[in-house]
Amino acid sequence: MTDVKNKARFRAASHPTPGGLPQPTLAQAMLMAVAIAYGLHALFMSGPAMRAAAREQLERIVADEDRDVCSQFGIRPGTSQFDVCSRELASVRKKQVERDKAAAQGIP
């Protein structure tokens, strides 16, 4: 008798379609809607803030590298020599990015 009740309960809970596949329940549909809403929020709201934070972090890293490398040559921050050193390091970074892009495309 319990076997018959379990089978009936299973059929009622899964809502089979004419093709034989169960339809999602309301709870599954709500969970999916929440997941999609969270993903859209992350994409459109948090995305720009995350990109801005990453850009600021990169700028801090570059400034720290400039200060460390230039100070190895005895050039202190805030001087005109430091500005020249920073520009030269930026040029070196740009050339390295170009070399990396060329290598990724298979160009030696």
Q: Tokens representing 10?
A: 């299973």
pLDDT in tens, 40-81: 888 888 888 888 999 999 999 999 999 999 999 999 999 999
CA distance 104 to 98: 10
Provide the H-helix boundaries in 15-105: 26-41, 47-72, 80-104
Give the pLDDT confidence score for residue 24 in this predicted structure: 67
CA distance 77 to 66: 9
Q: Is residue 30 predicted with pLDDT exceeding 60?
A: yes
Q: What percent of the chain has pLDDT over 90?
A: 57
Q: What is the mean pLDDT of the chain?
A: 84
Residue appearing with tokens 């930026």: 90
* Residue 3 near residue 11, CB atoms below 8 Å: no
CA distance 22 to 56: 49
Give the pLDDT confidence score for residue 42 in this predicted structure: 81
